[in-house]
């Protein structure tokens, strides 16, 4: 029997995250969205109660939570405020390549840094001319003796302005396409420049910046995994982080669904609450189904990973469906509110703006469809274990 019954520990963790989202995130969410406020104090509070760096192994100071537990937290973050939630969760994206491909020395240094105090790290893959097509990146890493020298610019970097270190992908073989990409951990120094902070449609409480590396020197040991195998490391990272993104999308959809339900019972037209009209009931029913289905796909993708089973197909299903559903549910929530839904005084227009990015970052919905089609047409076994052969080799300390 398939069973998604949560353990007592997972229930407690979800309650902790929900209470935090209620008391610390929602109370400022719409104000922070309006002003584009950086949630520094909320980040500190989340770190103090253990809601950040959730998958960092215990030996490096983290809680070492399973991926399903991480999804429980990220759904509540999405429900509370996905902009603030993205700021809180982004360390997981930056640190996953370090956990997968870093030497013991690198793991102790950089994962330990996140565990010692509320610090931030950023994942630097996207460039102005290299989004979905990462092989088009122009950032380079050149070996010079016992150092690597990195030059280039990365855009749309979450927490980029506030990060203490970066996971950077760069070309080490310019002519090899995606087979010439390597991954590095790069501490912030005076050669790392913040060129631009983006003014965004939604998730305005999260920082999104352009980060440039100008003759940035790092030790040779800061290479993650094998040289020219960075693309593989990036894809393995996304298999681990897409369930969390899907969970956040479910949280956004759930919030919009709940607001729409409450409003439909209060708003009267033609002498009765609009919840009494079948047209509204059908919209509410479809919203409820999308939230439930998105959550189940998300939990499935996370549980596969927790059981050592390859989840590439499952996490693309989850991320694609949950993101598209979040956009659909929030749009329908605005419709339920009618003209009031289009006004900033009411909560659902923010959720609609926040939902849009879920279809774009960590692989667009179109890229997810390409992954799904490839996996299905290749007839991959959805229950195959994660083979040792596709795991990156850590660099010796």
- 362 carries an active-site annotation: yes
Task: Please give the C-alpha separations between residue 154 and each of 150, 159, 179, in angstroms, as whole numbers.
Answer: 12, 12, 19
Structure tokens that stand for 203 in this block: 């998730």
Is 84:29 a contact under the CB 8 Å cutoff?
yes
Task: Please give the C-alpha separations between residue 315 and each of 75, 159, 294, 346, 361, in angstroms, as whole numbers.
Answer: 15, 24, 11, 33, 14
Q: From CA 364, how far away is CA 267, in angstroms rounded? A: 36
Measure CA of the first residue to CA of the last residue in the chain; give whole Å: 44
**How many helices and strands, by DSSP H and E, does the chain display?**
11, 10
Q: 247: how many CB neighbours lie within 10 A of its CB?
A: 32
Out of 24, 75, 109, 362, which one is annotated catalytic? 362
Measured in degrees and rounded to the nearest 5, phi and psi for residue 192 equal -95, 120
Catalytic residues: 362
């Amino acid at each position: 029997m398939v069973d998604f019954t949560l353990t007592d520990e997972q229930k407690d963790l979800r309650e902790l995250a929900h209470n935090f989202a209620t008391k610390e995130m929602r109370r400022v969410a719409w104000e922070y969205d309006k002003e584009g406020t950086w949630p520094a104090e909320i980040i500190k509070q989340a770190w103090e109660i253990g809601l950040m760096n959730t998958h960092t192994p215990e030996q490096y100071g983290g809680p070492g939570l399973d991926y399903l537990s991480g999804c429980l937290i990220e759904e509540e973050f999405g429900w509370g405020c996905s902009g603030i939630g993205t700021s809180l969760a982004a360390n997981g994206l930056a640190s996953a390549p370090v956990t997968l491909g870093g030497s013991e020395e690198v793991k102790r240094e950089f994962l330990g840094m996140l565990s010692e105090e509320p610090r931030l790290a950023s994942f630097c893959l996207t460039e102005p001319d290299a989004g979905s097509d990462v092989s088009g990146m122009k950032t380079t890493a050149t070996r010079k003796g016992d150092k690597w020298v990195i030059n280039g610019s990365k855009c749309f970097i979450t927490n980029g302005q506030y990060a203490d270190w970066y996971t950077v992908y760069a070309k080490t073989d310019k002519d090899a396409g995606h087979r010439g990409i390597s991954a590095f951990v790069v501490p912030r120094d005076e050669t790392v420049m913040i060129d631009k902070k983006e003014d965004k449609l939604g998730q305005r409480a999260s920082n999104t910046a352009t980060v440039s590396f100008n003759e940035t020197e790092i030790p040779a040991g800061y290479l993650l995994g094998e040289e020219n195998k960075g693309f593989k490391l990036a894809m393995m990272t996304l298999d681990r982080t897409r369930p969390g993104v899907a969970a956040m999308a479910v949280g956004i959809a759930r919030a919009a669904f709940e607001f729409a339900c409450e409003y439909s019972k209060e708003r009267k037209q033609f002498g009765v609450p609009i919840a009494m009209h079948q047209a509204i009931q059908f919209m509410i029913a479809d919203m409820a189904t999308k939230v439930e289905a998105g959550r189940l796909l998300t939990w499935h993708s996370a549980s596969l990973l927790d059981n050592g089973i390859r989840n590439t197909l499952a996490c693309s299903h989850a991320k694609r469906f949950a993101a598209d559903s979040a956009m659909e549910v929030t749009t329908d929530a605005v419709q339920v509110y009618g003209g009031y839904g289009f006004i900033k005084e009411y909560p659902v227009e923010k959720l609609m703006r926040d939902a849009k990015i879920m279809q774009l970052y960590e692989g667009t919905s179109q890229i997810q469809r390409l992954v799904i089609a490839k996996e299905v047409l290749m007839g991959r076994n959805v229950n195959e274990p994660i083979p040792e052969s596709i795991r990156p080799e850590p660099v010796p300390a």
